[in-house]
Amino acid sequence: MRTVNLLVAIAAMAGIVTGQAQAWEALPDKAPEPADNPTTVAKVELGKMLYFDPRFSSTGSVSCFSCHNVMEGGDDHMPTSIGVHGQKGGRNAPTVWNAAFHSVQFWDGRAASLEDQAKGPPVNPIEMGMTSLGAVIDRVRAIPGYKPYFEAAFGPGEVVTMDNAAKAIAAYERTLITPGSAYDRFAKGETAALTAGQQRGMEALQAVGCTSCHQGPAFNGPALPIGTGFFMKFPTIAGSPYVTKYDLVADDGRFVSTSAEGDRHLWRVPTLRNLEFTAPYMHNGAVKTLPEAVRVMASTQLGQTLDDQQVDEMVAFLMSLSGPFPLQTMPRLPATPGDLLD
Amino acid sequence: MRTVNLLVAIAAMAGIVTGQAQAWEALPDKAPEPADNPTTVAKVELGKMLYFDPRFSSTGSVSCFSCHNVMEGGDDHMPTSIGVHGQKGGRNAPTVWNAAFHSVQFWDGRAASLEDQAKGPPVNPIEMGMTSLGAVIDRVRAIPGYKPYFEAAFGPGEVVTMDNAAKAIAAYERTLITPGSAYDRFAKGETAALTAGQQRGMEALQAVGCTSCHQGPAFNGPALPIGTGFFMKFPTIAGSPYVTKYDLVADDGRFVSTSAEGDRHLWRVPTLRNLEFTAPYMHNGAVKTLPEAVRVMASTQLGQTLDDQQVDEMVAFLMSLSGPFPLQTMPRLPATPGDLLD
């Protein structure tokens, strides 16, 4: 119940009311980082290696990258993801781009940090399918070439640990951010960065009420301490025709992980950045296009039916939240022992 | 039968005799390229995008990169590869590194060029599982962001074709070469590039007879026109105890694709470069370590039992054939329509 009360309290505190003036904020150039895991070049390098390495899945074929493709939208283009043995997961892969600006992770916010999140998929039987985190780090230890990278990141000694692996992956993910979009330039005063239509779309986003939840620089809610989630019920308006059309209540949301009745159909508010690259949409990936996603949200959350021009302009604005994506070099992965994947 | 006769003819022409003096050749800085597909920057860029894009497999989860990981050995660390729906293939993924120096492609040489090879896996039901090459290129066409890259590479007009996609992938693969290894520097006169033990290993490779087949700058046979394969029977010595131990005759090799009796257990001679990164070994991935692979080959091909020092020194030499791998930037893949993978 705590999360619901918190949500109400925050909404009151922040004065979130449809139509109220809001400051349009640019994304910071640096993601927040926890005191016990400052981002360093050595950690980012190691984290990138681990992120791309498929050898830490039971079959040796699935890595973080498999479902969170940083060469595109940070997801995998599918309604729900495919893990080991061709198994399909239950929810749409959330984008890793700007995940560092979420105060909790996963669709249902069940991980309090990027570090915690990184320990989930490896031992999910549908995703990477390892039997335990101990088995995961045993695989890392069995590849001798990793040790120097752990030592460079965490100092000498017994540093090849799951906690350090998760810290390195989180450090890498904190570099996966996209400040500098057309919207960000506009928010910093470059008024020509958005077209007139995009600016009308931006105003509509606020007038229609989307920014009640999708606010702040990542359009994912108010600034909250890491570990404190910003949740919303979805769908809110049970009578919306889209609820049946897209099967929006089949998944109980946060209730699945907390078993708290107040968490039924509660979801962490996702970012609106880079939606251009993350179709299909919603927690179940049931909505295929961005215009339709805008209509669905207006109807299910705000009880509104938008006209085509509103939709077009809101979509035009949402496209201004794309990229720019940092140019990345490919990691080099250390050689494998031939019996690693027996 | 043509290939066997050719093989004999070539061996005679080239004077391939165990123990005969051989020139140690460095890998060229540029791979050979066909007259109708000169390598250009625009083709390489497009080819890299296509190589990494999993959307051209039936499930949307398997790309060239999945089994030919250029962040490591150009293969996938497994005895045999995993394709769509978790299916396992029948042969070990050959490395893509220096594939441009093979005169034919695949373990059995059934593709005459990199361009031809690129059209195989997409429609292999176990690998990428598409129903036809037409279906593959339809997927490419359904992603509007690809068109400008095809036009940059191949000019204006109806250039989004499977032939052009294959040409672009081949052009990218021609950049995946590793001149400049310790061995290459030695071959160019830098005598300190190899240790004394490595030099003894190099001499042993010749004295034992490995270079009868594993000759030339890529250690994969004599220089032949693209499309003309250099094949060898494996195992040659049926009585070697390794034949049973590693199940080396279960796969009929080139016979499977030609049905020519003379092609039974014939295989294209693979490169010895970058073996450090490509365990496990052989066409079936049954041999886990490089020292064991050296023993197996000496026994099954040359009827020799090596002592430990010979093996150690030959392995030390083989390690001098590693890298250096070019630093690559990650491609950016164009946005996907939400219904692409229905």
The predicted model gives A95-123 an average pLDDT of: 97
- B20 and B53 assigned to the same domain: no
CB of B88 within 8 Å of any CB in chain A? Answer: no
Which helix (H) or strand (E) covers residue A165, if one does? helix A162-173
All residues at 6 or more sequence positions from A141 whose CB lies less than 8 Å from its CB, including other chains? A147, A160
- B191 and B315 assigned to the same domain: yes
CB of B72 within 8 Å of any CB in chain A? Answer: yes
- B166 and B192 assigned to the same domain: no
- A82 and A200 assigned to the same domain: no
Which residue of B lies nearest to A53 if distances are taken between CA atoms? B71
In the predicted model, is pLDDT for residue A20 greater than 90? Answer: no
CATH of the domain at B67: 1.10.760.10
The stretches in chain B having pLDDT less than 70 are: 1-22
CA distance A302 to A296: 10
- A50 and A164 assigned to the same domain: yes
B94 Rama class: left (phi>0) / alpha (psi -120 to 50) / beta: beta
| CB-based contact A77 B71, cutoff 8 Å | no
Residue A185 inside a domain? The answer is yes
pLDDT at A342: 77
User: Sign of the CA dihedral A293, A233, A113, A54?
Assistant: negative
List pLDDT tens digits, range B28-84.
Answer: 999 999 999 999 999 999 999 999 999 999 999 999 999 999 999 999 999 999 999
Phi, psi of A303 (to 5 degrees): 65, 30
* Contact map slice: A 52-71 vs B, CB within 8 A: 52, 54-55, 59-61, 66, 69-71
A200 Rama class: left (phi>0) / alpha (psi -120 to 50) / beta: alpha
Cβ atoms of A283 and A251 closer than 8 Å: yes
* Contact map slice: B 163-182 vs A, CB within 8 A: none
CA distance A135 to A127: 15
Q: Assign A111 to helix, strand or coil.
A: strand
In the predicted model, is pLDDT for residue A10 greater than 50? Answer: no
pLDDT at B12: 39
The CA–CA distances, whole Å, from A262 to A5, A225, A237 equal: 10, 22, 16
Residue B330 inside a domain? The answer is no
Residue B329 inside a domain? The answer is no
Choose the closest CB to A328 out of B61, B329, B337: B329
List pLDDT tens digits, range B13-34.
Answer: 443 433 344 689 999 999 999 9
- Quote the percentage of chain A above a pLDDT of 90: 92
A226 Rama class: left (phi>0) / alpha (psi -120 to 50) / beta: beta
| CB-based contact B330 A82, cutoff 8 Å | no
Cβ atoms of A47 and A170 closer than 8 Å: yes
CB of A337 within 8 Å of any CB in chain B? Answer: yes
Boundary-marking domain end, from B156, B173, B190: B173
Residue B339 inside a domain? The answer is no
The CA–CA distances, whole Å, from B318 to A50, B197, B205, B301 equal: 27, 11, 9, 18
Q: Between A248 and A4, name the one with better pLDDT.
A: A248
Residue B218 inside a domain? The answer is yes
The predicted model gives A64-74 an average pLDDT of: 98
- A9 and A89 assigned to the same domain: no
- A209 and A127 assigned to the same domain: no
| CB-based contact B340 A77, cutoff 8 Å | yes
CB of A89 within 8 Å of any CB in chain B? Answer: no
Q: pLDDT band at A17, cuts 50/70/90?
A: very low
* B78, B284, B342, best to mutate vs chain A, most A CBs in 10 Å: B78
- B13 and B60 assigned to the same domain: no
Question: For residue B65, which residues of chain A lie inside 8 Å, CB to CB?
Answer: none
List pLDDT tens digits, range A139-157.
Answer: 999 999 999 999 999 999 9
pLDDT at B139: 98
- B306 and B203 assigned to the same domain: yes
Count of domains forming chain A: 2
pLDDT at A325: 98
In the predicted model, is pLDDT for residue A96 greater than 90? Answer: yes
- B197 and B305 assigned to the same domain: yes
The total number of residues shown for chain A amounts to: 342
Residue A206 inside a domain? The answer is yes
Q: What's the pTM value of the predicted model, to 2 decimals?
A: 0.93
pLDDT at B323: 95
- B120 and B191 assigned to the same domain: no
CA distance A6 to A232: 11
pLDDT at B17: 38
Burial of A259: CB neighbours in 10 Å, binned 0-12, 13-18, 19+: exposed
- Quote the percentage of chain A above a pLDDT of 70: 94
Q: What is the separation of C-alpha A91 from the centre of its chain, rounded to a whole number of angstroms?
A: 12
Choose the closest CB to B333 out of A72, A86, A331: A72
Boundary-marking domain end, from A120, A149, A173: A173
User: Sign of the CA dihedral A185, A203, A270, B332?
Assistant: negative
Task: Indicate which residue of B115, B127, B173, B313 is catalytic.
Answer: B127
pLDDT at A22: 60
pLDDT at B22: 60
- Quote the percentage of chain B above a pLDDT of 70: 94
ipTM score of complex = 0.93
| CB-based contact A277 B335, cutoff 8 Å | yes
Residue A305 inside a domain? The answer is yes
Q: Assign A105 to helix, strand or coil.
A: strand
CA distance A215 to A259: 28
Residue A328 inside a domain? The answer is no
* A77, A327, A333, best to mutate vs chain B, most B CBs in 10 Å: A77
CA distance B147 to B127: 26
CA distance B255 to B263: 5
Question: For residue B59, which residues of chain A lie inside 8 Å, CB to CB?
Answer: 82, 86
The CA–CA distances, whole Å, from B280 to B92, B214, B288 equal: 8, 19, 4
Burial of B24: CB neighbours in 10 Å, binned 0-12, 13-18, 19+: middle
Boundary-marking domain end, from B137, B152, B173: B173
- B79 and B51 assigned to the same domain: yes
Which residue of A lies nearest to B71 if distances are taken between CA atoms? A332
Integer Rg of chain A from CA: 20
Range of the domain at A103: 41-173
The predicted model gives A23-39 an average pLDDT of: 96
Residue in B5, B76, B70, B57 with CA at minimum distance from that of residue B228: B5
